Amino acid sequence: MKLSVIGCGYLGAVHAAAMASIGHEVVGIDVDERKIESLSNGRSPFFEPGLPEILTSGVESGNLRFTTDMAEAKGARVHFVGVGTPQQKDGYAADLTYVNAAVDALLPYLSPGDIVAGKSTVPVGTAADLAPRIEATGATLVWNPEFLREGFAVQDTIDPDRLVVGVPGPSTGLGTGDEGSGPSTGSGTGATGDEDRGERAAEILREVYHPAVAKGTPFIVTDLATAELVKVSANAFLATKISFINAMAEIAETVGADVTQLADAIGHDARIGRRFLGAGIGFGGGCLPKDIRAFAARAEELGRGESVSFLREVDAINLRRRERAVHLVVDGLGGNVVGKKVTVLGAAFKPHSDDIRDSPALDVAVRLKGLGADVTVTDPEAIENARRAHPQLTYVDDRDDALRDADAVVLVTEWDEYRREISPEHAASLVAGTIIIDGRNCLDPAAWRAAGWIYYGLGRP
């Protein structure tokens, strides 16, 4: 099928390449000329395992091309919109400038029967606002949220754990109370026409995702508002789960308990589950922090602020953990870090990524620098991005060089290179002071203590 993908950032570039890899003819479109040039040459503008391979094979096969010219979207059956929805500069709500601009630029090239599939994470109600403009061209708007995780984006796109498609129907408006019942229920003027269009659109999306559909991946067809909400509520849940365990870490710190054992113990309950109960310096990245803030802001606008007021607490707990890590370093160094050499292991917001957006790791590094420490940061992939954002820090590629003469070491991104590959004995031979703060609770305290280190975890005795 001919597809266009508008917006070639983390989401769009991966989506375009993944769709080409399953046999579609794809054009990726973005306003950023440098990005388009790099992608056209089969080079990924960011680190994402597996992406360079499918970019190269897509471009070489002729199935995949990239352009800045929106006119090339013409003729595609489905147009995916995957532009960014960052946090507004002066508030918590999502900035929809790019979504609106992308849709407006696309309108002249839409033909009757085309499908516009929104993939960006948007406040509930956005699709209902966009739909009239798109429908005036004879095209249909659906919402098809994306749940990919950075670092596993290719796999998550080709083989997702579920597919969700919101289609037009009688219950697409806000406040109709029809959520979850799907577009085929309810009545009202034009309902049947909408239902038909919705069913046709869902059928085409099934064709797009044929390999996943063929292997039985759950394919949920719902209304537009539910589809938008699925995405923000999934991220809100994940963020809440992380902040829950980090709140338990705060209690554990007060009573001398161990949050990692607590997480293991409650995680055995299948209703709870151990995943996303990793206590530490908390969540960051381009999604969870801004998505929970945008959700809370949207709920306020809807007069439902109290329904998700806990998300403010989730955010506050999360930010407190960064402070706690800084506090442990200061404490470990006797109350004053001025002039002390602190080595920070990690800059990316999580392993397998070079993304430093709202990175807790870099936040800890910057705060320590602000307190007067001489901070050296190392990371397997994110140094270039980190240097651009925070030139005041010292960056060192080689891990041993970074550790040399450190008065304290802080592990803030749990790359395998740090989690598994550092020998505590070898590290001890390099540093000036054997103090380690494990901001991700990913090291074995016994092994580090046995090698002479003073080990601090978050939420651990």
Catalytic residues: 287
**CB of residue 277 to ligand UDX, shortest distance in Å:** 6
Task: Supply angle C-alpha 407, 409, 340, rounded to 5.
Answer: 30
**CB of residue 241 to ligand UDX, shortest distance in Å:** 7
* Interface residues toward ligand UDX, by CB under 6 A: 146-150, 235, 238, 242, 276-278, 280, 282-285, 287-288, 349-350
Contact 85, 95 (CB under 8 A): yes
Q: Name the token pair of 293.
A: 């803030």
**CB of residue 39 to ligand UDX, shortest distance in Å:** 20
Q: Name the token pair of 100.
A: 């609106």
Residue 288 φ/ψ, nearest 5 degrees: -55, -50
Residue 59 or 288: which CB sits closer to ligand UDX?
288
2, HSE (Cβ side, Cα atoms, 13 Å):
7
Residue 160 or 305: which CB sits closer to ligand UDX?
160
Residue 140 or 359: which CB sits closer to ligand UDX?
359
What is the Cα–Cα distance from 6 to 12, expressed in whole angstroms?
7
DSSP E strands, 12-143: 25-29, 64-67, 78-81, 115-118, 140-143
Residue 76 or 317: which CB sits closer to ligand UDX?
317
**CB of residue 278 to ligand UDX, shortest distance in Å:** 3
Residue 130 or 287: which CB sits closer to ligand UDX?
287
Task: Name, in order, each residue with C-beta under 8 angstroms of 42's C-beta and a sequence gap of 6 or more.
Answer: 52, 55, 56, 58, 59, 60
Residue with the shortest CB distance to ligand UDX? 278
**CB of residue 261 to ligand UDX, shortest distance in Å:** 15
Q: What length does the chain have?
A: 461
Counting Cβ atoms within 10 Å, is residue 451 exposed (0-12), middle (13-18) or buried (19+)? middle
Contact 365, 344 (CB under 8 A): yes
**CB of residue 238 to ligand UDX, shortest distance in Å:** 5
Contact 121, 289 (CB under 8 A): no
Task: Name, in order, each residue with C-beta under 8 angstroms of 106's C-beta and a sequence gap of 6 or more.
Answer: 6, 70, 73, 79, 81, 116
Residue 15 or 298: which CB sits closer to ligand UDX?
15
Residue 314 or 408: which CB sits closer to ligand UDX?
314
Strands 64-67 and 78-81, bridge-based pairing: unpaired
Strand order in the sheet with 140-143: 64-67, 25-29, 2-6, 78-81, 115-118, 140-143, 163-167, 219-223
**CB of residue 146 to ligand UDX, shortest distance in Å:** 6
